[in-house]
Copies of this chain bind each other. A is one copy, B any other.
């Protein structure tokens, strides 16, 4: 792997990112044709949703040298997205990193490894999604890369892509698909609102989505429960 720090990647526009921050991860994922979702990392807080442009970091397990180098590459509206060459449970990220990032206007951190200082991070309002909570410390001996494409939870994330994160997990919107994805997400929101209204009035999905003939075609039959018959 080339050990390089790529600077000044093109990024999705701040307006688009802002717009995504009001839409749920599930809705955006569905609007993009059920793509982009990551479930392997969990939030350390509850009730927070953020959207940011990715600054990607590839580190050696147990070594956060490249996260130090990545801070400098982060600016307002960014979200730090860090992974390791093999799975790592080390506490690669904590409150001191968050302090530096928060001052630079970074909206959150996605750590495909361990995180520590979780109470302090919640107290300071810096949201983090991580694979592990673990205090085990790190060294700063081995090089890596910044702003190269990385894979997190089975999804490719490149520098400048939009990452939206909430209690459900994460979704990645590739930079070049951002505008289309936003239009589709808003359409999906509207559709969900209409469905919600209909369900509140008692309509069934079976009817709304025309599934009754589907069930019939698939050979699903209705029959009284045998114990009901005996009763």
**Which A residues are closer than 8 A to B by beta carbons?**
1-10, 24-26, 29-30, 33-35, 37, 39, 42, 46-47, 49, 60-63, 65-66, 68-69, 71-72, 85-91, 94-97, 99-100, 103, 114, 116-120, 132-137, 139-144, 147, 151, 154-156, 159-160, 166-169, 171, 192, 195-196, 199-200, 202, 204-206, 209, 211, 214-215, 218-228, 231
List of B residues within 8 angstroms of A65 by Cβ: 211, 214-215, 218
List of B residues within 8 angstroms of A72 by Cβ: 204, 206
- CB-CB nearest in chain B for A132: B39
Given A3-B219, A10-B227, 4 additional A-B pairs, CB 8 A: A8-B224, A39-B135, A133-B167, A135-B171
List of B residues within 8 angstroms of A85 by Cβ: 34, 62, 136
List of B residues within 8 angstroms of A140 by Cβ: 209, 211, 214
User: When the two chains form their complex, are residues A192 and B135 in contact, meaning their CB atoms are under 8 A apart?
Assistant: no
List of B residues within 8 angstroms of A39 by Cβ: 89, 114, 132-136
Name the one of B9, B47, B100 contacting A228, with C-beta atoms under 8 angstroms. B9
List of B residues within 8 angstroms of A63 by Cβ: 142
CB of A169, distance to nearest CB on chain B (Å): 6
